[in-house]
Structure 1
Amino acid sequence: MESTTSDHVISIANTNTDLREEKTWFRFSLPHILRSKKIHCSLVPLASYLRDKKQSDQDIKKIVHSIKVGVSLVLVSLLYLLDPLYEQVGENAMWAIMTVVVVFEFTAGATLGKGLNRGIGTISGVGLGCLAALFAQYVGGVGHPIIIAIFVFIFGAAATYLRLVPNIKKRYDYGVLIFVLTFNLVVVSGLRAEQVLQLARQRLLTILLGFIVCISVSVFVFPLWASDELHRSIVSRFQHLSSAIQGCLEDSAQLVDEKEREPKARLGACKSMLDTRLKDETLVNFAKWEPWHGRFGFSHPWEEYLKIGDVLRELAAIVVSLGSCLQSSTQPLTQSVKEPCEAIWSSLRELGDSIKEMRKCGAEAKIMPKLKAVRVELNLVMGQLEMAAVENSDAAAIASLVFLLTEVVNKVEELAKEVDQLGDLAAFRTN
């Protein structure tokens, strides 16, 4: 035990030399500990997490959203807590709380869309339910339950059919669902006219209060707009694709045995774009419900973002194939192929910047001539490679790369046209 202790603990002697040795030991042992594998594995993920601004911003938005939902629930709970309000709505105050829980979504557009759907469905369901219940009461006798059953069948079947229509399902599915629920609640529960009218009044009042609280908090207290999220998402894809093509160009200059280090990470963003169609459609649907705010007006052409997103996904698939070809190639790209690559990724970056800054890109005057020159140059390279492909297998491999680059040029040209059209419809500034 004594020998083991002496190996790890430096004894403090009465000489200055021992003190200097101890200070030296502490000075060099601390970096050694920090460089150890245990400390490295625990600190590096934390540091990278703190440096990830995008992740931090998303976490802040989640916290803000959670606080806003909590505040809204407290406000609608006052219907129970305050006697004057409770006397007006009674036990139906629970409907206001349910409205906040169900309607309050992450973005303002989603909350507005769901709230308006709930309001329209409730009003139409209450109105038609009251009329059906009053008519059934007027018939009376044995015909009373028969009339109610007929109305329940007709409106339930018709509303269910409407929910299957694609255009209605996309934007009004929740409203039709609430209509069916409210209509049946009013018709079946309303045995007497007085009960029907009272139930309708209280339900409308509580739904309206819950809707007002949700919309007020969502729109006026640190709003999170779906339109902003969609705009940033489209711009980031231009940047990722540009960086991926630029990265492929840089990787082609490396030695063959060094090319496994980066491309997978660079192309990961491109692969993640391939399944963004549903996200785009959801954000566009929410953005259409949002009022005028910031740079986006009431008639902003959100459908154009879907078209641009489709072309970006097609381009991402081609870029992934291009990166795979470069990985398997044994020859670096020649200068005649590198220059077109540089023109392609710079054009993509220009298009992304034009959308980000909401200014017209001038595709016809600036980008299209550059891409046409790239196409001519690639055709010349392809012609030379076809002559040598019979005798040189490497030429055939490079020819496949040139073909993929030509397809990339086609998609970038298509993107330039779509971005130009977006600028015209959205009235982007000219400079």
Structure 2
Amino acid sequence: MSSSVIIPIEFDGEVKVGGKNGRHGLRPCLSRFASMLAAMEISSKDEGTKKVIHSVKVGVALTLVSLLYVIDSLYHRVGDNAMWAIMTVVVIFEFHAGAVLSKGLNRGIGTVIGGGLGCLVAVLARKVDGVGNEIIICTSVFISGAGATYVRLIPTIKKKYDYGAMIFILTFNLVVVSCLRADNIIRITSERFSTIFMGFGICLFTCLVFLPNWSSDELHVSVAARFEGLARALGECYEGYLDAASPKENKPAVALSGTCKTILQSKSKDESLAVFAKWEPWHGNFGLSYPWKKYLQIGELLRELAAIVISLKLCLESPGQMIIGDVKGSIDDTLEVSTTCLMWALRELGGSISKMTRCQPEETILPRLKSTGQELSQTVSQAISPCRELRNGNEIMFSSSLVLLMAMAKKVEELAKEVKELGEEAGFNTP
């Protein structure tokens, strides 16, 4: 699944190598640049290719940061502190650009605060002679370690700033403890800071300049694709019912798509991508205040729908379901109409997010869903009427399948309202 955003580049007029249009070589250069972007876009669509590109970028970053050791003039400036730059690249370089920014800024903030406080405590401890020096050091280490660890356990801090809190503990302890054995601790700390920020700068350069993997793009594309996956899975349920109801053809049962299982397991990934997306700079159609929480709410509703689809499959493909009594024809018609309506609604909503166009569910989607819900309710009332005795468990299973479709219609109505709010808050284009 691609998480990239294609930006078309258009040119007016014919591009020529020579003559008036090509005299200064600008248009040919732009043309070649556009072709290069298109080639990179095509190559970045494959997930395996993106992994290879990420691996190459990590190798490039490590090569660049190793120059601090290889080039003598650079090594004479930073010395053995160049190891901190290498450690920074190894630690914070992640697959997504948002993750690199999140860890890098957390590391920078934790390093500055921890190092600054550590230097302050170290200077104060140096002014105290005798046992007082060790007491100040040990007390400050205990307070900072215990306090920062307690803060890390707060859910909101742990979710966004856990890495920064850990770096604060590490930096503070390194600075404070080393002051007992080292002279000019402020100079040593400043040199380490500079190399750490060198490593962070190299990470940002290689991560953001060369085919960045945006967390926001991946979250947007993956959520939009789940609508089509659920619609396809719902269609497979109905096909499985039709195949099981035609024993003469002896068709194998239609296997439910693995999309539902993937959707059910998507919560943790969505939350991580949403957190990383908030750290990313403005790019494409995603601004700094983009409503990523709406994607999490939509994802939650999609997971509930996936659970209903799995339950619906079990009801529709129960053994002997072709024997249903005098309401079989009515149920078959209702199943076909309701399934078709739900599949259509899911695809419309998914297309709205994918194309980033505003959805107006009150005009078409909600009226059809309410009509489908009423038809399902009437069929259920007919199937389980008090004056009619249910002959077997299969009829109960079919009644349950209709109830599940009613619940699914209600969830899709909620989903349509969430998609509409997303379009309004995100500023989607009006179709």
Describe how 1:222-301 pairs up with structure 2 within 5 A: 222-256=211-245, 257=247, 261-264=252-255, 266-301=256-291
Given residue 363 of structure 1, which amino acid in structure 2 is its aligned partner?
P
Query: Where does residue 302 of structure 1 map in the other structure?
Result: 292
Q: Distance in 2 between matches of 1:291 and 1:113?
A: 11
- 1:263, CA displacement in angstroms? 3.3
Q: 1:147 to 1:80 in 2, by over 3 A?
A: same
Query: Where does residue 355 of structure 1 map in the other structure?
Result: 353
Unaligned runs of 5+ in 1: 1-52
Given residue 407 of structure 1, which amino acid in structure 2 is its aligned partner?
A
Query: Does 1:170 find its partner at 2:159?
Result: yes
- 1:262, CA displacement in angstroms? 4.9
Q: Secondary structure, in 3 states, of the residue corresponding to 1:364?
A: coil
- 1:193, CA displacement in angstroms? 8.1
Name the count of aligned residue pairs: 378
Verify the 8 A CA contact 1:109 1:288 in the aligned structure 2. Answer: yes
Query: Where does residue 390 of structure 1 map in the other structure?
Result: 389
Q: Secondary structure, in 3 states, of the residue corresponding to 2:95?
A: coil
Q: Distance in 2 between matches of 1:55 and 1:221?
A: 11
Q: Distance in 2 between matches of 1:235 and 1:417?
A: 15
Q: Distance in 1 between matches of 2:43 and 2:402?
A: 35
Verify the 8 A CA contact 1:389 1:395 in the aligned structure 2. Answer: no
Describe how 1:72-221 pairs up with structure 2 within 5 A: 72-191=61-180, 194-221=183-210
Q: Distance in 2 between matches of 1:254 and 1:85?
A: 72
Q: 1:311 to 1:93 in 2, by over 3 A?
A: same
Q: Distance in 2 between matches of 1:206 and 1:260?
A: 67
Q: Distance in 1 between matches of 2:424 and 2:112?
A: 39
> Counting helix residues as a fraction of each chain, which structure ranks higher?
1
Verify the 8 A CA contact 1:235 1:356 in the aligned structure 2. Answer: yes
Q: Distance in 1 between matches of 2:104 and 2:253?
A: 47
Residue-by-residue CA offset, 1:212-232 (whole Å, 9 max, x unaligned)? 000111011110011111111
Q: Distance in 1 between matches of 2:257 and 2:81?
A: 55
- 1:268, CA displacement in angstroms? 2.2
Q: Secondary structure, in 3 states, of the residue corresponding to 1:251?
A: helix
What do you get for the CA RMSD once the two structures are aligned?
2.0
Query: Does 1:65 find its partner at 2:63?
Result: no
Residue-by-residue CA offset, 1:260-288 (whole Å, 9 max, x unaligned)? 73533x34211222121111111111111
- 1:197, CA displacement in angstroms? 1.0
Runs of 4+ off more than 6 Å: 53-56
Describe how 1:414-429 pairs up with structure 2 within 5 A: 414-429=414-429
Q: Distance in 2 between matches of 1:55 and 1:342?
A: 35
After superposing the two structures, state which structure 1 stretch, 379-388 or 341-350, moved more.
379-388
Q: Distance in 1 between matches of 2:93 and 2:305?
A: 36
Q: Secondary structure, in 3 states, of the residue corresponding to 2:430?
A: coil
Q: Distance in 2 between matches of 1:134 and 1:259?
A: 85
Q: 1:84 to 1:72 in 2, by over 3 A?
A: same
Given residue 300 of structure 2, which amino acid in structure 1 is its aligned partner?
D
Query: Where does residue 18 of structure 1 map in the other structure?
Result: none
Given residue 285 of structure 1, which amino acid in structure 2 is its aligned partner?
V
Given residue 353 of structure 1, which amino acid in structure 2 is its aligned partner?
G
Query: Where does residue 43 of structure 1 map in the other structure?
Result: none
Given residue 390 of structure 1, which amino acid in structure 2 is its aligned partner?
E
Verify the 8 A CA contact 1:359 1:430 in the aligned structure 2. Answer: yes
After superposing the two structures, state which structure 1 stretch, 193-202 or 178-187, moved more.
193-202
Unaligned runs of 5+ in 2: 1-41, 323-327
Q: Distance in 2 between matches of 1:328 and 1:261?
A: 14
Verify the 8 A CA contact 1:95 1:206 in the aligned structure 2. Answer: yes
Query: Where does residue 34 of structure 2 map in the other structure?
Result: none
Q: 1:259 to 1:422 in 2, by over 3 A?
A: farther
Verify the 8 A CA contact 2:244 2:253 in the aligned structure 1. Answer: no
Q: Distance in 2 between matches of 1:119 and 1:260?
A: 62
- 1:351, CA displacement in angstroms? 0.5
- 1:400, CA displacement in angstroms? 1.3
Query: Where does residue 22 of structure 2 map in the other structure?
Result: none
The structure having more radius of gyration, on CA atoms, is 1
Query: Where does residue 7 of structure 1 map in the other structure?
Result: none
Q: Distance in 2 between matches of 1:213 and 1:259?
A: 62
- 1:421, CA displacement in angstroms? 1.1
Q: 1:351 to 1:359 in 2, by over 3 A?
A: same
TM-score normalised by structure 2 residue count: 0.84
- 1:250, CA displacement in angstroms? 2.4
Residue-by-residue CA offset, 1:356-390 (whole Å, 9 max, x unaligned)? 01111111222111111111111111121123751
